[in-house]
Amino acid sequence: MQWQEEAIVLGVKRHGETSVICEVMTRAHGRHMGMVRGGRSRAMQPVLQPGNLVDVTWRARLDEHLGEFRIEPLTQRAARLMESATALYGLQTMAALLRLLPERDPHPHLYEALDIILDHLDNPADAGELFIRFELAVLNDLGFGLDLTECAATGQRHDLAFVSPKSGRAVSREAGEPWAEKMFPLPGFLRGEERERATRESLTDAFRLTAHFLHRHVYDPRGLAMPSSREGFMQAALKAFEA
């Protein structure tokens, strides 16, 4: 068995004296692992840093085997990512989110989104909004997508102002006003109509919104804690809006 494609390094762990198990995200083969012989060498360590774009060839006798990776560097952006708190925490948190998905299950749009976001994570003004959209995409792929396109009560697509904490559906301002205190505000940059740029307030609302549904549908049922890196990312992203 063999395949070859571009991949983004998510992490590595030691395997024996000189090798590592490398975890990557690919377009066609999803999150995938493989052994890299000599992965702890001086030449390979910089290549196998999280966030780097690499060319991967995977080989194994049978499809269900761990197999081996042959890896060549394409874009080494790890050093740049480590210089920014939003980039460092963001990469760690997105990798943790991808680990919630079944291994080898293809999610091409998540791979493409990750590749784009990694090029903007060191810009805190953009990083927060992109990260929230990534969390929403992961929720959707796990089967718990939010419907923010129309009002759950009236079906209208304009003046959407709230999100139901139970259904995950948008609610219009008029229909939701009597229960406003029990619902989440719908951040302006997530509205289907004229989208606004994220502000500190709307980004704070968005972090609360996605955290609620991640806890409810993903982390709590699995007995997992939300990664601490998410809090670090959130604080770094919100700090960008301070005067």
Q: How high is the pLDDT of residue 48?
A: 97
**67 Cβ neighbours under 8 A, 6+ residues apart:** 1, 34, 35, 58, 59, 60
pTM metric for this prediction: 0.94
Q: How high is the pLDDT of residue 25?
A: 98
HSE value, Cβ hemisphere, 13 Å, CA-based, for 94: 32
Q: How high is the pLDDT of residue 116?
A: 94
Q: How far apart are CA 155 and CA 133, in angstroms?
A: 23
Where the chain has pLDDT below 50, the residues are: none
Q: How high is the pLDDT of residue 191?
A: 86
Q: How high is the pLDDT of residue 241?
A: 83
Q: State the angle between helix axes of 124-141 and 85-98 in degrees (0 to 180), rounded to the nearest 10.
A: 0
The two tokens of residue 63 are 């499809």
Instruction: Kindly report the length of the chain.
Output: 243
Q: How far apart are CA 234 and CA 63, in angstroms?
A: 39
Q: How far apart are CA 159 and CA 171, in angstroms?
A: 9
Q: How high is the pLDDT of residue 229?
A: 97
Q: How high is the pLDDT of residue 133?
A: 96
Q: Is 13 in contact with 35 (CB distance < 8 Å)?
A: no
The two tokens of residue 75 are 């874009």
Q: Which residues of 219-243 are buried (b: 16+ CB within 10 A; e: fewer)?
A: eeeeeeeebebbebbbebbbebeee
Q: How high is the pLDDT of residue 196?
A: 81
- Domain residue ranges of the chain, discontinuous segments joined by +: 2-75, 81-148+186-239
pLDDT digits (tens, 9 = 90+) for 162-171: 999 999 999 9
The CATH number of the structural domain formed by 2-75 is 2.40.50.140
Kindly state the helix (H) or strand (E) to which residue 11 belongs, with its residue range: strand 2-15
Q: What is the DSSP string of 139-186?
A: HHHTT---B-SS-TTT---SSEEEE-TTT-BEEEHHHHGGGGGGSEE-
The two tokens of residue 236 are 């770094």
